[in-house]
Amino acid sequence: MHYDSDRFIQKVCEQIGFKAARKGIEQELEAHIDDNIEQFIAQGLDERTAIIKATECMGDPIEIGEALNMVHRPQTEWGVISLVILLSIFGVGTMLFIGDLPVGSSSIFGKRQIVYTILGIGFMVGIYLFDYMKLYKYGREIFLSGIILTITTVLIGTNENGMLCLKIGELTFTTASICNLMFMVYVIAELSKCRGKGINAFLKICSLCALSLVSLFLNRAFTLSLIMLIVYAIILTVAAIKGHFNYEKRWSYICATCGISAISLIAFIPYMMLINYNLHNNEYSANTVSKYLEGSQRIGKSVFLNANGWRHLPKHWADYFLTIITANFGWIIGCLIISFLIALFSIMIFRTLNLNNTYGFYLSVGIIVYLIINFILSILTTLGYVNNLDCNLSFVSFGGTNYFNNIFVVGLFLSVWRRNLIVPSDMFSSLTHCN
């Protein structure tokens, strides 16, 4: 059967089940057919005949469509989804059965967490189905919205546990966490556009990172500022290693990134310690955490917990949730949760190394580093090595804002992986080899 190019492409695309992939396939087929048409016209054929022959050379449209349908399918990482749901269930279960905490019965938090979990899983599915490339397209608008939200919070926000929040009726929002995601989305979008553009592009990205961190700092989100400083430093280091700005000068960019990051940490950490440091509280927190953990058993309540209950928990007791779980349920449960989180991060890292789109790749790197740094700080807090840091154990700790933030970034990662075979493949190098 003779097809003109439009009918041929339409027939091919009818076989593609995932509609989001059709536009890209149409463009590829059109480009290939146009190349064939030019070749046949150059051989002396008239345009109509050239179109027919160029289309026939493509082969059977149904067979081609079926083959493309096998390749351009949405991908679902069920391992990530399963672990997120499992961790969420652990979080709800532990809250329901911990008992009386310094601010009341944990069952109240558990019932709230059930609502957060149900809404959160639905939210994750929605983000998974969402086309993350729209964030790339509207990154600037998202960034400006984050700046406006930051300014609004600074001007009219209320102080909640040392951090500025917006209060709407009975609901209180930690806007710094929301703004942070807006900033990261835009910074990575701009980074993706800067490939091969040298020192000016590098300085632009560093400036955007600095502006994002200052905005978080103004919101008094000091721990989040520290976390994001590390996140941006690692993203820029990975970009430098890949020769993103300039392959020939990649070592210069690696050194510059490490130097800027080190200077920023040296300047930031003492200031943060000056704000948060309290010798008496820090010693009390470390000693109390040690007592709860030292008396912990493999299964069941710790000896210290049985004797004293939760009344000796530090002031910022919600930051010690892994300590609470271990002391109440035993080391096995605590280690099990840690194992699930490590498995989650491992799967995400493995999938990220197989991403084909620059924006999706750096977005996934940022998401993974963000979750891992939170995890590390939570472990250090649990062991009593650091204090007064607002960190959380992803999907398990108290708080709706933290839970929805974690759900959002994982849903975004799933959206990136879902479209890995559909969005344009523009990754030009791996971490070990650059072209």
- Residue 261 has a CB neighbour count (10 Å cut-off) of 19
pLDDT band at 351 (very low <50, low <70, confident <90, very high): very high
Q: Which residue has better confidence, 182 or 100?
A: 182
Task: Tell me if residue 165 falls in helix, strand or coil.
Answer: strand
pLDDT band at 370 (very low <50, low <70, confident <90, very high): very high
Res 84: pLDDT: 94
pLDDT digits (tens, 9 = 90+) for 12-60: 777 776 666 666 677 777 777 878 788 878 877 777 787 777 777 777 7
- Residue 161 has a CB neighbour count (10 Å cut-off) of 11
pLDDT band at 400 (very low <50, low <70, confident <90, very high): confident
Distance (Å, whole) CA 87 – CA 72: 31
pLDDT digits (tens, 9 = 90+) for 231-275: 999 999 999 998 888 888 888 889 998 898 888 888 776 666 555
Residues of the chain with pLDDT > 70, as a percent, come to 83
Inter-residue contact 205 to 197 (CB < 8 Å): no
Listed in sequence order, the DSSP H helices in 61-174 are: 61-71, 78-97, 106-129, 133-137, 139-156
Q: Which residue has better confidence, 72 or 112?
A: 112
Distance (Å, whole) CA 245 – CA 198: 5
Res 435: pLDDT: 37
Least confident of 147-161, 246-260, 274-288: 274-288
Res 271: pLDDT: 64
Distance (Å, whole) CA 15 – CA 1: 18
Sheet holding 163-168, edge to edge: 158-160, 163-168, 171-173
Token digits for 111?
Answer: 């019932």
pLDDT at 423 over 90: no
For the range 193-198, what are the long-range contacts, defined as Cβ-Cβ under 8 Å and sequence gap of 24 or more?
194/244, 194/245, 195/244, 195/245, 195/358, 195/428, 196/244, 196/245, 196/246, 197/245, 198/245, 198/246, 198/249
Helix, strand, coil content of the chain in percent (nearest 5): 70, 5, 25
Q: Which residue has better confidence, 299 or 294?
A: 299
Res 2: pLDDT: 47
pLDDT at 228 over 70: yes
Using alpha carbons, select from 193, 73, 213, 200 the residue that is nearest to residue 137: 193
Res 104: pLDDT: 63
Return the C-alpha torsion angle 281, 287, 293, 294, nearest 10. Answer: 180
pLDDT band at 206 (very low <50, low <70, confident <90, very high): very high
pLDDT band at 5 (very low <50, low <70, confident <90, very high): confident
Residues of the chain with pLDDT > 90, as a percent, come to 26
Distance (Å, whole) CA 110 – CA 403: 13
Res 224: pLDDT: 87
Most trustworthy range by pLDDT among 112-116, 371-375, 418-422: 371-375
pLDDT band at 93 (very low <50, low <70, confident <90, very high): confident
pLDDT at 95 over 50: yes
pLDDT digits (tens, 9 = 90+) for 128-141: 989 888 888 888 99
Token digits for 119?
Answer: 């809404």
- Mean pLDDT over the full length of the chain: 81
Q: Which residue has better confidence, 312 or 140?
A: 140
pLDDT band at 280 (very low <50, low <70, confident <90, very high): very low
pLDDT at 429 over 50: no
The residues with which 404 forms a beta bridge, in sequence order, are none
Q: Which residue has better confidence, 351 or 397?
A: 351
Q: Which residue has better confidence, 279 or 338?
A: 338
pLDDT digits (tens, 9 = 90+) for 162-195: 677 777 766 677 788 888 999 999 999 999 988 8
Q: Which residue has better confidence, 393 or 282?
A: 393
Q: Half-sphere exposure of 109 toward its Cβ, with a 13 Å CA cutoff?
A: 24
